[in-house]
Structure 1
Amino acid sequence: MTQIIQLALSTSSVDEILEQWRITYPNLSPKLTLFLIEYPEAEIPLKLFAYYLSDAIRVFDEPLFGICLAQAIKSCERSEQQDDELVYDRFFEALTYIAADLLHNIKIEDLQGSEWRIADGNYFTDWFVLNPIRLKQHELRQICIKPLYSEKQTVRRAQQMLNNKMCLTIE
């Protein structure tokens, strides 16, 4: 049985993750460029989001980061068509909501029992991608993705953590 959430080995930098996204979504790439020209202050939070998730977390073999960014750009397009003044806010709302919704009720656990959960505030890049022991455990299929049942681990809490890690405020 295929799991929705999967892990892939990755050593991509944030810039490489963004470049790969541009290659994967060539029709949305110019829209991201325009968004970043109009809102240059969005570049650092976007890169922090990429660093938080890395491109190792996958949804049916597609990087979750890429899915989130594509949906955020599409949400931005809809806001612009409606002459919405909150384009920036809607972009980051869409970007973080998708990740929070998909990851709020799972934990990723290594062989020693150390866990990564989206709402704990640990960058996945630091926990997994930059940890050679965990990368080796992943190769040996010793990293587990498990359901997490907790009333405290909500989509909203996960989204708030993502926003906090990107230095954004939530109204």
Structure 2
Amino acid sequence: MSTQRADARRNYARILAVAEEEVAAHGANASLEQIARTAGVGSATVRRHFPTRRALLEAVFHERIEVLCARGRDLADAADTRAALLEWLSALTAYAASTRGLAAALIPEGAAGFDPQDVNTCAAQLSEAGRPLLLRAAKDGAVAPGMTIEDLITLVTGIVLATEHHPDPGTEAERLLGLAVAGVSPQR
């Protein structure tokens, strides 16, 4: 029995390592069949460990999402609430623009071929991390009323998806975020 568990752990690690390479090379639509072949396992083994494409993407991006969440927690007590929120959004934009497939992992449930029953853990974690920043900025009047953290994550996702084929996606995404912020956050 423990041999199966050890084999399962090795398969999981091998599948995840191959998936990271395939997603980096081909984005969120990397072939699950190619991942299975390269990892030396069957498609059923991939599906057993990662029942959905989103589950695989979330595992691939887990560490990056954790870093972004930690950055949000670090900024939560910043004196300048507007600057803290914008710094976090900029970090999210930079990470997503430099990491092929991450923006697709943030697409809301039910969009772009993802099953609406498939919970988006990446987006939920980022929402939880960014919400306190937005609430503090809203309390200070630094953002437009009625804005949600989900709105901002969707905005960043859209910017990153729109710039992923640009010659310099990171710079272009940051530029577009700046344009959006000018319309999202009142000048002080």
Larger-Rg structure: 2
TM superposition score category, shorter chain reference = 0.3 to 0.5
Give TM-score, length-normalised by structure 2: 0.31
Select the structure with the greater relative contact order (CA < 8 A; seq sep ≥ 6).
1
More strand by percentage: 1
